[in-house]
Amino acid sequence: MRIALEALGIEPTGGGRSATRNLLESLFAIDPDNEYVLFVSQAEVFEPSPPNVKQVVAGRMPAWAQRLWAQAVIPFYTRHWGADLLHHVKNLTVVGAACPMIVTVYDLTVLRFPTFYPWLDGWYWRHVQPRALRSADRIIAISRTTASDLVHFYRIPAERIVVIYPSYNARLLSCPVAPEAARERYSIKREYILHVGSISQKKNLLPLLRAYVRLRRAGLQIDLVLVGRRYQKGRDVALEAFLKEMDFADGVIMTGPVPACDLAALYRGASVLVFPSLHEGFGIVPVEAMACGVPVVSSPGGALGEVVGTGGWLLSDPGDEKEIAQAIEAILCDDALRADLVRRGYDRAKMFTPESTARQTLDLYRAVTHRSPTRHGP
């Protein structure tokens, strides 16, 4: 097969980039037989470099210009190249492609929490995206929650939706950076609570900060490490104000985005990962943490309950700072509980392996194009 993959705009750090990169790396690793063309905003480096993959680089541009570029270029390219399939790997679509089309939808958070996003984003997801999805032969939802939202908000028939979970990055488990080196690099002086993700309203970080203050007032000597970029679309003004006035602010370390191996080391060195997000289409951060052997405290928001399941401590109310503090303190003070959560987390993470995600995706490609299986790579 000749398979076109549209991955424009995946360069900003975050769960979307991680999930997309994990899929592409594992897909190219198991499939040396088919030809791929990958549309990206900037060149992506894969190691080893797959000989059956060509990249078409559009260049960095605003989202609206990106959509125009995609519509102008991709349908023409698929016709000229003779593509058998076009897969939009993260939400975007075009019309007029001369082959079957698959679209992966991550979440419909903008419809669940419209006040977190600019009005133009809400308008696009209410009026443009549902029309665009009608031209897709299949829609991949990254969780049952997202699949349900597609049916609920867009009235898309369930038989056109396929749930394929993203995977964690297997390389996180073998990165050579030691936790001690990461602690020194980011000036972490003590045992620490970890959060990974954008600094934004959706991530619901204010109750976590208040829980941290509560723990410090109770005498726990611990740091709070927040890894991730500030997300301007969903800027958390209340959080920013609290940070300026809070007690024990010297224990809050905001690293910004970090390299993958530093992230792996920060996971492995953490005492607990807390993820109180209000809504996620999947929640790759808790899965990465569980795979790295970190006990997880998570909101059940969106797909998080579905994904974390019995592998972590699920909060009943992620807005309750007292409940968050109690969960953290229980894990820090009870070695048996901590060990049990680590064991259950390892078991849960096995549901989300890179090879499983890639094979399910490749099987869907064959089903949509009515192709028989060919030899898999190693």
- pLDDT at position 160 is 96
- pLDDT at position 173 is 86
The two tokens of residue 197 are 């993700």
Task: Flag residues of the chain having pLDDT under 50.
Answer: 375-378
Cβ atoms within 10 Å, residue 269: 21
User: What is the fold of 2-167+353-369?
Assistant: Rossmann fold (3.40.50)
**What is d(CA 236, CA 242) in angstroms, rounded to the nearest whole number?**
10
**What is d(CA 24, CA 85) in angstroms, rounded to the nearest whole number?**
15
Domain boundaries, the chain: 2-167+353-369, 170-351
Q: Residues near 81 by Cβ (< 8 Å), separated by ≥ 6?
A: 2, 4, 37
Tell me whether domains 2-167+353-369 and 170-351 share a fold: yes
- pLDDT at position 122 is 92
pTM confidence score: 0.92
Helix (H, G, I), strand (E, B) or coil at 91: coil
- pLDDT at position 47 is 87
- pLDDT at position 373 is 63
- pLDDT at position 232 is 73
Question: CATH class for domain 170-351?
Answer: alpha beta
**What is d(CA 269, CA 282) in angstroms, rounded to the nearest whole number?**
24
- pLDDT at position 302 is 95
List % helix, strand, coil for the chain (3-state, nearest 5).
50, 15, 35
- pLDDT at position 378 is 40
Q: First-to-last CA distance in the chain?
A: 19
